[in-house]
Amino acid sequence: MIATLRYEFGMQVRRPILWIVYGLASAALVGLMWQGYVVPTLGLGDPDDPRSAMIAVSQTVMTLMPIVYGCLLADRLIRDRTLGVAGILDSTPAGRTGRLIGKYLGVCAATAAPIAVMYLGRAVVYAVAEGKPQALGWAVVLFLVKIVPALAFVGALSLAGPLLVPPLVFRVLFVGYWFWGNLIPATMMPTLSHTVLSANADYVEYGLFGDPSTAPGADYPPYGPWDGAALNLLRPLASPAVAFLWIGLMVAMAAVALFLARLHAIRTES
Amino acid sequence: MKRFDLWSHEIGRAGPAALVMPPALVLLTGLLALFGTRLGSLEGNTAWMLLGAVEAGFPLMTGIAAASLIGRDPAVELQLTLPSGYRVTLLRRLAVTSGWAALCATAATALFMATGWWDVVPGTPGGLAGQLTWLAPTVWLTALGLLAAAAFRSTVAATTTVAMVWLLEQVVGDVLRGNAVTRSLYLFATSHGAGADDWSVNRVTLLVTAMALLAAAWPLLGDAERVLGGETE
């Protein structure tokens, strides 16, 4: 598993195309999401407060980057079969489960590396420019508890998805899913957006890092059920427990996706 | 006969996925039009979603399909030696997938116009011009997909580019509509209420710039070494 992890990480992180596409994405991020990335506020928090600034940057980064991350991962698991090396790899002493987990961790870490650079890089710039080094601490914690669980799930979905449906269909569905299930307002149509099952939900910020609606002078509703939205059952009021529930659900859904990929391998084996 | 063989080969080669998706979208939107009200969706909301599905759904499909066209040939070296040029083969392939999606989109638009859904969203152009709702963004994203595939020589990078542009146009639509240049290139102007003048300018600009994207892709696709040297992983 460790050998697969190291090899897959190295192979993915050295792909020039990975950095070129992320370069385009970060140019778009800086150019079009100026408010949020360069000016670190989305209207809710104070950009001078390192905690709310880092929250705003994390939310901005996680609006666009998971689609790049997911699409770049979509060919990794089916690659062994398209190249015809799956059979050779099967004949090695490395077990299939170990190889799957190694590949998952390796390619996900490599594909998430540019996101880490983009997010933590912004934190460094903020810390230096504003003279507030605590921003770095907030950024690292937010990266670990908000960005990593979301990417863990999206990564597993993108690896397993093209095994279960044709890659072309998966790519179209994945873009549709990210927009419908994570970005649209919950009242637009029945959606998973802003539920505990959404990779882009804000439960961690509101549950663990202080609810801006409780700040003095704020007139924002608390994060949770939306008035008149369907599936509000899946939108409990934000609290530390719900934030941990969200993290647990992301990891569990990643495990389910990988389990399905493993089952698929067993089915094609026989 | 040879010509017919080539076309039938490309239709078979396009695969069920590319051929099933457009009619599936027509079916889904048709079901929404039929049962949306019964499911509790307001009439205005349903009409806007139908318009949005036609304007954004078909371009996404054809864009991703165009981005996946190159690099799927097991023996491209052989293809490059044939009298029928590789570029022509690619165009034929593109015509099969995009043409089929275009047929489905025309049918869906005509259906929603005939059943009155099109008129529910104020300011939506009807008649033949109404078909530009899907045509302009579809041609533009398809051209972008082809150019990205030719430039990056990698399916995964090209499809990611199309996906990213599509998503950005949805997410930061306000920013893009706020500037005169990006407004004229905004893909989803119909469902986001562009005025009649703005809309015509936008559609024509999209079609013209799509031709520029295709023109940029053309020499890249003709470069045999480039086609051969693509990313194989």
Q: Is A68 on the interface with B (CB under 8 A)?
A: yes
pLDDT exceeds cutoff 90 at A5:
no
- Residue A18 and residue A12 in contact, taking contact as beta carbons nearer than 8 Å: yes
Rounded Cα gap, residues A229 and A233, in angstroms: 10
pLDDT in tens, A80-133: 777 777 777 777 777 888 889 999 999 999 999 999 999 999 999 999 999 999
Which residues of chain B neighbour A64 with C-beta distances below 8 Å?
164, 167-168, 171
Mean residue pLDDT across chain A: 88
What is the Cα B208 distance to its own chain's centre? 15
Which residues of chain B neighbour A188 with C-beta distances below 8 Å?
45
Tell me if B163 and A15 make a contact (CB, 8 A cut-off): no
Q: Is A30 on the interface with B (CB under 8 A)?
A: no
Size of the A and B interface in Cβ pairs below 8 Å: 93
Q: Is A94 on the interface with B (CB under 8 A)?
A: no
- Return the SS3 of A39: strand
Confidence (pLDDT) at B35: 86
Rounded Cα gap, residues B36 and B22, in angstroms: 20
Rounded Cα gap, residues A233 and A240, in angstroms: 18
pLDDT exceeds cutoff 60 at A261:
yes
Rounded Cα gap, residues A247 and A145, in angstroms: 7
Alpha carbon distances (Å) from B11 to A44, B4, B19, B97: 52, 11, 9, 8
As a whole number, mean pLDDT of residues A124-144 equals: 93
Confidence (pLDDT) at A24: 95
- Residue A54 and residue A126 in contact, taking contact as beta carbons nearer than 8 Å: yes
pLDDT in tens, A189-218: 888 989 999 999 889 988 888 766 556 556
Name the pLDDT band for A157 (thresholds 50, 70, 90).
very high
The continuous run of DSSP H or E covering A16 comes out as: helix A16-32
Confidence (pLDDT) at A269: 57
Which has more confidence, A39 or A152? A152
Tell me if A64 and B168 make a contact (CB, 8 A cut-off): yes
Name the pLDDT band for A182 (thresholds 50, 70, 90).
very high
Percent of chain A surpassing pLDDT 90: 49
Confidence (pLDDT) at A68: 95
Segments in chain B below pLDDT 50: 233
Tell me if A183 and B41 make a contact (CB, 8 A cut-off): no
Q: Is A28 on the interface with B (CB under 8 A)?
A: yes
